[in-house]
A and B are shown apart, each in its own frame.
Chain A
Amino acid sequence: MASENADHAVWLRGIEKQFPGVIACAGADLRVRPGTIHALLGENGAGKTTMVNVLAGVYRPDAGEVWVNGQRRSFQSPADAIAAGVGMVYQEFRLVPTLTVAENIVLGSAPRLLKNAEIENRVAELSAAYGMAADPSRPVWQLSMGERQRVEILKSLWRDASVLVMDEPTAVLTPGEAAELGATLRAMAEEGRSVIYISHKLDQVVAFCDEATVLRHGKTVATVEDLQDMDLTKLAEMMVGTSEGGYVDRPPTVETGPAVLSLEGICARNDRGLLALNDINMTVHSGEIVGIVGVSGNGQKELAEVINGLRRATEGRVTVKGQDVTKASPRDRYRLGLAYVPEDRLGVGLAPKMAVVDNSVVRSYRSQRRGMFLSIAKCVRFCKSLIERFGVRVGRLNDPIAGLSGGNLQRLLLGRELAEEPSVLVAAQPSRGLDVQGVAAIQGHLVDQRSDGVGVLLISEDLDELLALSDRLLVMYEGRVVGEYPPDVTPRSILGAAMAGKAPA
């Protein structure tokens, strides 16, 4: 067997991995030749992160084999994977902000006695060898995101990693830095190292990478060996696939009503203080589903938060049913008829450690009073009505809600938001990570709401879902709305191009 694998730096073979309620990988394969940059493509939830976490020793696969440099491996911990020559650069950098660049790089493989000058010299040599400028004596918190990424790469090179995995590396980089990263990765490949490159930015994938593997629903659906000759839109089609059914179709378009939600000139910053929303204008009418299309990280999360009062708009106006709510609290917005299913179900929408019944009244606890006290009977009755109406399967109402499966969490959350018959529903990634019935149930409710005259803003990364449910599609790219498309007559290739920032003018 070993000889057969000798020409692979990495071979993940038939990887299966299941989490409670979710199948992340269902027999996916990934082969990476030495000295190549290999793109790992797929939509969110396709299993990319699970695959590389198996390679990094974070997860152990339920089935399948992990081969690194011709040897079969069974990693017990990330440290094992590091020792075998696998270097990971996560999107969330694993650096200690208060330590210096050099200290971060040698952490875990430092000599017994640290001679700072000597270590810093060696780090400087290493960074010079790969053309990555980095001052070894600076603390990491002072560095830009691009510089921090270099530190992460240097950390792997310091351990002489033969395989480097990069998860969405250009998300935090300026275009200039991204080009430099491309050159660095190429230099590493020319030395015989391999790079696994996860990205949604297809133009960069084509520019940087030699080969590609496409994952879909936890399986490998395509491998591309001549990436240079590949058409960008064709690649996008491979990722999003063709409609597979299983999606609820909305009934034919009905007459839409008056505007229930509108945004005028909205600007906002993300957590890092960078401009995340740039002059957003949009309107959602009663009785329609407006789908927000876009690769994640293009401002969708911030958009939902600004609409719901969880993030301050630096400019612009949000109105709900004609009323200016730009400065209103989330509770006042809800009272006006704005419901919100956030992307983070557990942690934002629901309090994980609190009981099912407590979570069901997050919006309405003030109405569940009898006199000055919360009426437990009322709360329970309310909770049971949600459970019944939305088909939530729960154990005891007093158990922490975190024990529920993803689908049931989402049914309860959506039910709670719909309980007081809102006029607008903002749903962010409502069916992400759910099983087939869960997806169907959630989508069915969205369509029902539309029929009842609710205006729905659907933010999703599942293009099939958006195409099946939406009356209109808005494409977001780098914090702007770059185009509006009717879903029924727009080819996927055009949407793919718009998502990649190549919208026809």
Chain B
Amino acid sequence: MSEEALVGLFVATVQFGTLVFLAALGELIAERAGVLNLGVEGMMTMGAVSGFMVGLETGSPWAAFIAAAVVGALVGGLHALVSVVLGADQVVSGLALTIGGLGLAAYVGRNVVGERPETKFTDLGIVGLADIPWFGDIFFNQPPVVYVAVLMGLAVWFVLTRTRWGLALRAVGESAPTTDAVGHSVMALRSGAVMVGGAFAGAGGAFLSLYMAPGWTEGMVAGRGWIAVALVIFGAWRPGRLALGALLFGFTLALQPRLQSFDIELLGVQVNRISPALLGILPFVLTVVVLVIISWRYRHRPSPAPAALGLPYRREER
């Protein structure tokens, strides 16, 4: 196996990691506020198609990226309206968001299938660091979205732990009545969180359609939205662990198409004999294992899962 292939693997790891990290970060915000949104796949797909179309129209990758975030927020807003404001079931609403989002994206994008974008993000070498062997290419010669995602991760961590808004958000995810009683609006906090989460998912979708697999085809998100849902649990609802989990999940995603080319033996197993499909199982199996471990380890103390996750709140039912 060549050195280039290995660097290529890790470059792709960072990019796939960024893709699921952006979407999972959005889901983390919503879940920390107590709203389960199973519509990530749909929001990402809507972001992918709208980002791609705006990119075609304007030629500006940044305009496309921002448009995708806005569309993601609007799609998330539907979930917020139905499940937060009106208090309908979050599971059903989220699933409908995925099915409807996939359908709407297919409908909206039916005329741009197969078109090639004129524009795409160019890799942004960070002067001085990009030339470091190996690490330069892997970490410092990536498209700008990667760095934006890192900044967003830091920003979300900062907002959650260091601001009044973040404190209220964490509180409303644990106990809506308590948060309501001290004068915060449960509806505004939760709806805001879901919409911001949608923006992240939409942006993630645009990263896919503008850079990683430029173009638009139906079903191009291909389950990465569900991986993002899994990643939130794998990261135990914390941004830092989410980032580490994103690299791990990103690694499995990046490795799948490359497995055949790795003619090496690892722990007695010939790597290129492993099925890419079985490798794809890893994120989901790990997540289930983590979930079981969490509920076992935290059986006598509060779980890292937001206590009010999935529970609608209406003041008059206090």
Contact = CB atoms under 8 A, between A and B. Distances in A.
Interface of A: 58, 77-79, 82-83, 94-99, 103, 106-116, 139, 141
A94 B177 contact: yes
25 contacts: A78-B180, A78-B183, A82-B182, A94-B175, A96-B170, A96-B179, A97-B307, A98-B302, A99-B167, A99-B170, A99-B174, A106-B167, A107-B168, A107-B171, A107-B178, A107-B179, A108-B182, A109-B182, A110-B168, A113-B162, A113-B163, A113-B164, A114-B163, A114-B166, A114-B167
B310 to A, nearest CB: 17
Interface residues of B, number: 23
A103 B182 contact: no
A98 B178 CA distance: 13
B281 interface: no
A74 B47 CA distance: 47
A111 B184 CA distance: 14
Interface in B136-181: 161-164, 166-168, 170-171, 174-175, 177-181
Contact of B171 (A99, A112, A115): A99
B299 interface: no
The 7 closest A-B pairs by CB, nearest first: A108-B182, A79-B183, A110-B164, A96-B174, A94-B178, A78-B181, A98-B302
A114 B307 contact: no
Identify which of B177, B302, B307 gathers the most chain A CB atoms within 10 Å of its CB.
Answer: B302
B163 A97 contact: no
Given A113-B164, A114-B164, A141 B175 contact: no
Nearest to A58: B318
A77 B175 CA distance: 17
A344 B271 CA distance: 62
Interface in B56-108: none
B182 A107 contact: yes
B184 A114 contact: no
Interface of B: 161-164, 166-168, 170-171, 174-175, 177-184, 301-302, 307, 318
Contacts, number: 71
B167 A95 contact: no
A173 B187 CA distance: 36
A98 B166 CA distance: 14
B181 A103 contact: no
A95 B162 CA distance: 19
Contacts of B162: 113-116
A155 B180 CA distance: 15
Contact of B178 (A95, A109, A115, A116): A95
Contact of A98 (B163, B174, B181): B174
Contact of B163 (A58, A77, A112): A112
Given A58-B318, A99-B171, A108-B182, 18 more contacts: A78-B181, A79-B182, A83-B183, A94-B178, A97-B302, A98-B307, A99-B174, A107-B168, A107-B171, A108-B184, A111-B164, A112-B164, A114-B162, A114-B163, A114-B166, A114-B167, A115-B162, A141-B302
Identify which of B161, B163, B167, B175 gathers the most chain A CB atoms within 10 Å of its CB.
Answer: B167
Given A79-B183, A113-B163, A113-B164, A97 B171 contact: no
A113 B166 CA distance: 10
Contacts of A115: 162
Contacts of A139: 302
Contacts of A95: 178
Contact of B301 (A83, A110, A141): A141
Given A111-B164, A141-B302, A97 B179 contact: no
Contacts of A110: 164, 167-168
B153 to A, nearest CB: 19
B299 to A, nearest CB: 13
Nearest to B318: A58
Contacts of B170: 96, 98-99
Contacts of A99: 167, 170-171, 174
A97 B161 CA distance: 16
Given A103-B167, A108-B183, A114-B162, A96 B175 contact: yes
Nearest to A111: B164
A154 to B, nearest CB: 14
Contacts of A107: 167-168, 171, 178-179, 182, 184
Contacts of B184: 107-108
A104 to B, nearest CB: 8
A357 to B, nearest CB: 25
A139 B307 CA distance: 15
Contacts of B171: 96, 99, 103, 107
A109 B174 CA distance: 18
Nearest to A108: B182
Nearest to A142: B301
Contacts of B179: 96, 107-108
B309 to A, nearest CB: 12
Identify which of A96, A97, A112, A141 gathers the most chain B CB atoms within 10 Å of its CB.
Answer: A96
A28 to B, nearest CB: 23
A139 B304 CA distance: 13
Contacts of A79: 181-183
A111 B166 CA distance: 11
A108 B171 CA distance: 10
Contacts of A111: 164
Nearest to A97: B302
Contacts of A116: 162
Contacts of A78: 180-183
Contacts of B180: 78
Contacts of B302: 97-98, 139, 141
Contacts of B166: 114
Contacts of A94: 175, 177-178, 181
Identify which of B181, B184, B301 gathers the most chain A CB atoms within 10 Å of its CB.
Answer: B181
